[in-house]
Each structure stands twice: as C-alpha cells, then as structure tokens.
Structure 1
C-alpha cells in the first residue's frame, strides 16, 4: 500500500502501545500506518526489561497458579487513587485477552516470571505468575539491533529476565559468554527488544506501513471549535497523512520536556532513563484538539544515578536505574541531613523524593546518597563498578563516616547515629524504622545467598557513597480516555477520531507502581483496546 494513504488508522509512536495498536487494527482488517518520530523503533520499550504485567493470563493456569480477575481488580483498586474504577475493570478484562492475541498474531511466546506484585501481601496480590516476558525472538529480515533500536542499558538484550535472576547478574554474577555468543550469532534478542521485534514482525506480516523519522506536530481536524473530529496528522513543514477512521496517540509522555516537567510534575523527577523521545507531543496534540487532561503531576518514578560521561547518541544525559544499591545487604540511603527516609527496597521508593520539608517547602530527601561498606563492594556492583573495579567518578570513598560526610555534605553527627542504629538492628535481621526486607517484592530483589537478602550492617571500611537522583521511566499525564481508549473532551464526550494508549494517555494505574511490568502491561493492553476499537470506528 502507499504510505501517502489515506489509511484507515494512523498510529503515532512505535513502542509497545503503538505497535500493539497497529497490529490489533490490522487484524480487524484496517489499513494501518505507524509513524515513529525518531530514527529508531520501540522508544522506551526497546530499552526496558520487557516485563508485562497481565493478571489472570492463561500461562498462570497452565503453570497451576491460581488467579481470579476479581482478585486482580480488588488489588488494583486498593492501590490506586483518583482513577475511574471502570478503567481498572477494563484493563483487568482485556489484559489476558491481549496476551492470547499477541501469541496468535505475532511470533511472540510469553513465559511467566517469578516476580511478585509490588504489594503481593495486599488483598488480591500474587507472589508470582502475573508478570510475563517474551522468549528470545529472531531479528530475521528486520536488520541489526544497532540500526533498529536505542542502545540498551546494563545487559546485552539476549538474556531473559529469568536468566538474569538465575545467574544473579544484578547481584554480581557473570554473564554467560557462550549463551550470549550463541544468541547474538543467531540474531535473537530478548527483554524489551525482543518484545518490539515480535510486534514489528507481526505488523509487517499484516501489511502495516512503518515509517520512522516522521515526527507528528499537528492533528488534522474538521468541524467547528468545540465540536471537532480528528481526521489525520501532519509533520512540521512536511506531508500530511489522513486517517479515514482514527488516529491513535502512542508516542509516550513528556519526561524529556524540562519546561513541562517543571510546570506539571508533583516532584523533582528531572532525570528520565528513557530515550530522548518523550517530549510531550501527545499531550500537546490532544490538548490542542480539545481533549481533557489528567494525572499530569504523576510519573513512573524511579531512583537513578548519573555518570558524568553517560549520554544517548544525541548527547542527552543518560541516567541509569538504581537496582543493586537499593535491594542488597550492606547499603543504606540517607538524605543530606544524614537520616534514612524510606525502605530502600520498596518498589515505590522514589515517591519519597516528592516529600516536602514543611519549614522550607523544598524536597526534604534530595540530594540523597547510597552509602555502602567494604563487604558490599567485595560482593556486589556499585553504580556500575563490579567488585574489584575502581569506583566511577560520580562515587566517593572514605575511611570513616566523618570523612564520608565531609566529602558529600551529609551531616556527620546524624550519619554516624543513623549507621549505629541501622547496624544494631541489621545485625539481627530487622528494620523497625522502615520495614526493609519484610515483603515478597523486597526479598525477590535481594541476595538469596546472604544471611538476610536485603539487610546487612554498613560498618566495614572503607565506606563509599554515590548520589541517588529522582528519575522516571516515563510520565503518566495525558489525555483522559474511556474504557475503549477514546480520548475525551472536558465535558466527558469522546473526541471523534482520536484514541490514546500507553504513556501518551492519562495513566489508568497510579499514583504508585503496583507491579514490575505494569508500565508495559498497561501500554500493550490499552494499545490493543485502542487499535481494536479504532479499526471498528467506535466513537467515530
């Protein structure tokens, strides 16, 4: 088919939400065009771990793990605030059907992981089975990963999440060279890249047109102000692409637009780990067409560190997710006052960065520091340095707590007392102050070979420290949608011809994170809903 169209459905963005929407619309018989604004496919999905949270999926039943959609809905509603419960119900209903759909229409095979829900102990929570990942997928005729995707963090994207866990790669294990060489030679990828590759193969097999390097800057509309309908998209100084049935916004959030973040986010989350593509396009496009906006103060918050020399290919600084330094023994976090302020191993640990000092109105827990001792350094990686390697330039080392405090600006007296108190309890495997290590989620990310997977004293010199920054893996604010992923006006009516999914929509889950894989699980599910309903012309 011709790229010039018109097409039935135009998708803006090529991450999990956009490609799933494209595949769903194509399966419904629609002619589909995907426009990716950058010169690389997959957006944030392609550099992620690719975990997919899908409660009550059929792989759980196959593995003998019981789940019930009613439990999943109770769990979601118990961990959310300010959301329409109908959206939660729509997600729970659609997620397992989306998983079956992808396995039927793309070369994707999902396998369960052992990851628990973030609050597995809460009513309706589960300790394993709800999170899935793709088995390694062949690149085939798509090309090379280097040409297709943004460069991945941490591990070569040929090992799976379960292999990362089994081989203890986060906690200091050695990557298996034989396995990496074998899968690299075969052109097979896993994690987020594997998910995107499977979706691209599915889209190509269904005749979806795929264009990258086409950033959408405007929507084509008809009708009077306040009663417009969306009929297509346009590029800056470039072509227009008309959509006979609908446009689906799936081009991510606004985490890389500093002005929008400063104006909208309820916290200092200025260090996104996503590729520099989430620049607020969906929010602006939808708002300009008269869409209602919601949850603009929220993001998928996460703690990060920043090497001075780490950057994306375009020069944008590239922070790294903080993993080992929050989950493992012999490390704590303190603020500049020298106090611990959170359960470091909590999945929602970064929400603490939004806490304000009532006396000043400024964030009370930034800057924050991860402080570890020699036992930690001998066993685990610290801000990118494996055991035995020298510390990177953004970390400091000192012989005593007082020296470390002097080098970091932490209050020395309070730091010493904090270490004394923490060590007294950690030696007994306890954390009465913040409950670290008491949940399934905490322990799943710890070291199962240690006396306690998450706790250990921080006492053996030399000590080291690195600054922990408030970051994110995307924002949650965007156009408000209904259960069919139709974008809504401020009066609650659907805006004809416009749909949204993933981080381009107002997040249906929040304000915190309910499980690993919730971001991509939500993106795929709402992408599937959007593509299916858009192709059928619902609300159009």
Structure 2
C-alpha cells in the first residue's frame, strides 16, 4: 500500500515545522511524520528563543545590525566551518523570521540577550535573539496532550522572567499567569511549536504523530519517499530530515561523541534516525563528535522512566558560588556560555577528563537569595546535595583535598569581594553580566564566607548533537563527492551543524533549526530543487 505527496518532513520540532510551512506556502503538498506521541521534540521543552541576526524586531531595542557585521561575527567564531553555510544562514535568517510571522499567528519580540562573545568584532549586546509573544492553543488541544512535559509552566516569556527577576527573588505575577492559563496561551518552546502548528494547518499540511519512518524509498540512487512500515510507503519528490540528533542512542553516542557528554536534557526520542536514513542514501557526514554541550544537574525523569537532567543556570551565573574539579581547583569561567567545553579537557597523564567530577559550591549567602539544585530559599535540598559547616569538612565529604579547596576559595574571595576574577575573567563579559543578579554589588561575583557551605555535582550534558549529513547552501544532503542526493534534504540537529565546536549565542540551536528548515522547505518548491524521480 502506498500514497503520494510532494514533500515528506520527518520530525515536528522547529526545523520540521518551519520546513513544512515553507514548502506548503510554496505550493507543495506536505506531510509531516512525527515518530513520537508528542509534537515539537526538544523545541517544545526549551526556552524557544531563536538567534536571528539582522532581524526586523531588534530596532525596537534601539539596536542596529547588518549582514556584514553578522557574518563577521559568525565567521570569527566558527573557524574551520563552511563559510558558504554561514553566509546562507545570515542571508536567510531574517527572511525566515518575517515569513513565519506572515504565515502563522506568531509575533516575534526582541530580547535583551547578548551574543556569547558580544565584545568580538560584529558582536551585539542585545537584539539578535527573538522569542514568540504568547500564542493561543485554540483547537490544537491541551499542552499536556500536545507536548512532552515542560520543566515548568510555559506561560511567561523569557524577557518577562528576566525582567521580574524570578531567579533572583522576584515575585510571580499570579494574575498574569492565571489570565494566560485560562486563555490557553503558551510561550517559550510550546508557544513557538503551537504557532507553527497553526500555520501548517492553515497551509494545508497533513500532520501525523506516532508515525515512525523505517527507511527511505530509493529509486536509481534518488530518494523517492519513505517507508512507514515494511508494506506501507509514502512516495514523494522530496524528503526533509528534521528528526533531531542521536544523543539518546547509547551505542552511537559512545562511538561518535568526543568528550564525556552523556546527559541529554532533550526528550528521549533523538536516537539517530536521521543518520541511519541518510546513510542508506549514501550521504557523507561531518562533526559527529560534537554536541550542543551544557552543564547539567540531576533532575527528574521522563514518562518512560529515563533520567531528565536540568540545565545549570543559577549555580553558574549568580554571586557566592564557584566550581571546582576533584583536585579542588577552579578550571573555567563558570558564567561563560561555552563553559561545558571545559569538561572535554583531559588529564595528559591519565587520558581521563581533567575536570570531572565537578562541584558547584555555594555559601549561605547564595542559599538565602537564589535557587540551588532546584530548591528555592527555604526549601529542603535534594538528598544528593552535600552540606557542611566548614570547608575542610565539605572537602572530606567530596573526596577533595581540603587544603587545596580552602586555598581556592580564599583566593577567589579576595578578588570576588572587589568584583574581579583575574584567573578566568568571570563577570567581565556582557553575556556573563546579563545572566547575573542586577541588584548585587557585582552581578556574577561574591565571596563564599558564610556557612553552611553546600555542594552540587555538575555533569557534562547536552541539549543535542551536532553531527549529521553534510548539506549545501540549499539544505540538500551531499554525497562524499559533494553532489546532492536527489530528493533528500536535512535541517536542525539532523544535519551537520554549521556552528561549532562551541556556540555563538543563546538561541543558536533553534535559530539554526528554524532557518535551515525554512531553506529546505523553500528549496523543495524553488529553482534549486533536485529533480524528482520519474514514475
């Protein structure tokens, strides 16, 4: 049994729905196949912000931008990457944002988030990140039925959370929360996916969830559709891979990922299907060892019982906390955006990670002001958290040399009291300060002097992998000889990431996914579409 359409999109995150919307608006018949019972993948449980240089909303913040500056910044932070892909992204991203607004109920709003390296040539201290204004779910259904469980109710925007100081003691706007909840409005990643779903429905896209893909239909070296079961195929002129990376495939992650990044915060669905499908078609691959790395802490579990780590935010950005390795020494600017790359450093004598295990250590000044390990001031700490009245006692519990830990914290305190960090420069960058406490003497720095002292394990986590099939500037998947595979495209974490090995801004993952999805979808109905297989 088989059916026919123009474009099949595999995956329903930011990349997949952006691709589907672009292809449908371009006149294609489009079917989206989501393998899980929930829409949105990792996007739907994320903050939902997108890095879009030179976007049309940033002028509202009084910030200007242009193509040349954006390209200077991106090329300067992605050395060794393909410059043609950076150029394609910078050219397409602002067009994508306008397109999404024109063809969905989404209204983007600018954010005050700086680039990761705002001080670098071409960097910006605000405006390149955008997020959705609240979106009504309407006829889509209830959020808990549509999406994977969110880490918190998605009813406030990122800018509202920051403006209210909710991580630094601000009060929840209960009236606003109750209004939006009653109105069925969602924000952040849920808002982005809901808006894209509305747009896709209006454009006539067929949306199917709980529909995995088992293989590609191949005809004379070209992709001619997908197999849903051994007996059921959907034939199509184009197939767009937008089904994420491979962080939840244990064997693949162990074989390919460089470094100790084994704690994904994404839903347990990204198991390498894009790599297997692309391999079947003869694709070439790149950056399989890289990940969108993040420091994480022990969290809860997903519905299937698998671990669900949480991103470390307060315990790296705010005053009165620092990190140490098992030797009792600091090893990184804790507030930097690419902080997790330090976990990939190895001890030359042993070949093992030099900075794991790692611990975030805070004093009572931190605990009375900020959340720690998920516990707000006054709430009990989780059982796996260590606490002691003295630093030597804490060091003994952690198996850290007491003298070294005491010296490390004493030296840190001397400079932190003055708002400086000569060892690693913490707090001297716009990105650091933006995530700090604006009401503290210094947003990111404060001495650890008041007992009890508390320690939380920090793990090497990731929000997704970066490796996948190579693509050209039109999102066409490439063979080893650089020729495009007829009928096959890729976007988001299903493609080899043009940004790396670190990141360049908050929102870079979703900004890239939206943009490359839009490029792929637009290509399937444009002049750069690969020829369809004759039937």
Of 488, 497, 507, the match for 1:498: 488
> How far did residue 63 of structure 1 move?
4.3
SS in 1 for 2:360: strand
SS in 2 for 1:306: strand
Cα separation, 1, equivalents of 2:403 and 2:254:
34
Partner of 1:194: 191
Runs of 5+ in structure 2 lacking a partner? none
> How far did residue 82 of structure 1 move?
2.4
Of 200, 203, 206, the match for 1:203: 200
> How far did residue 125 of structure 1 move?
0.1
- In the alignment, is the contact (CA less than 8 A) between 2:155 and 2:180 conserved in 1? yes
Deviates more, 1:231-240 or 1:502-511: 231-240
Partner of 1:247: 239
Q: Does 1:22 align with 2:20?
A: yes
- In the alignment, is the contact (CA less than 8 A) between 2:60 and 2:110 conserved in 1? no
Instruction: Give a deviation string over 1:71-106, Cα, whole Å, max 9, x none.
Output: 000000100132110000000000000000000000
> How far did residue 405 of structure 1 move?
1.1
Of 442, 459, 462, the match for 2:449: 459
Deviates more, 1:61-70 or 1:274-283: 61-70
SS in 1 for 2:493: helix
> How far did residue 174 of structure 1 move?
3.0
Alignment of 1:403-418 (within 5 A): 403-418=393-408
Deviates more, 1:143-152 or 1:405-414: 405-414
Q: Does 1:168 align with 2:160?
A: no
Cα separation, 1, equivalents of 2:160 and 2:232:
45
Alignment of 1:305-316 (within 5 A): 305-307=297-299, 310-316=300-306
Q: Does 1:177 align with 2:169?
A: no
> How far did residue 170 of structure 1 move?
2.3
> How far did residue 482 of structure 1 move?
0.2
Q: Does 1:375 align with 2:365?
A: yes
Q: Does 1:273 align with 2:265?
A: yes
- Aligned positions, number: 530
> How far did residue 330 of structure 1 move?
0.2
> How far did residue 259 of structure 1 move?
1.0
Cα separation, 1, equivalents of 2:244 and 2:452:
43
Decide whether aligned partners of structure 1 residues 453 and 107 sit closer, same or farther in structure 2, where only a CA change above 3 A counts.
Answer: same
Runs of 5+ in structure 1 lacking a partner? none
Decide whether aligned partners of structure 1 residues 515 and 292 sit closer, same or farther in structure 2, where only a CA change above 3 A counts.
Answer: same
Taking only aligned residues, the RMSD between alpha carbons, in angstroms, comes to: 1.1
> How far did residue 394 of structure 1 move?
2.0
| Structure 1 length-normalised TM | 0.97
Alignment of 1:349-364 (within 5 A): 349-364=339-354
SS in 2 for 1:5: strand
Q: Does 1:443 align with 2:443?
A: no
Q: Does 1:233 align with 2:231?
A: no
Partner of 1:214: 211
SS in 2 for 1:318: strand
Partner of 1:539: 530
Partner of 1:147: 145
> How far did residue 237 of structure 1 move?
4.3
SS in 1 for 2:301: coil
Of 285, 288, 296, the match for 2:288: 296
Instruction: Give a deviation string over 1:252-301, Cα, whole Å, max 9, x none.
Output: 00011111111111111000000011111101110121100000011100
SS in 1 for 2:3: coil
- In the alignment, is the contact (CA less than 8 A) between 1:52 and 1:131 conserved in 2? yes
Decide whether aligned partners of structure 1 residues 64 and 451 sit closer, same or farther in structure 2, where only a CA change above 3 A counts.
Answer: closer
Partner of 2:80: 82
Cα separation, 2, equivalents of 1:195 and 1:339:
41
Q: Does 1:486 align with 2:476?
A: yes
> How far did residue 241 of structure 1 move?
1.3
SS in 2 for 1:165: helix
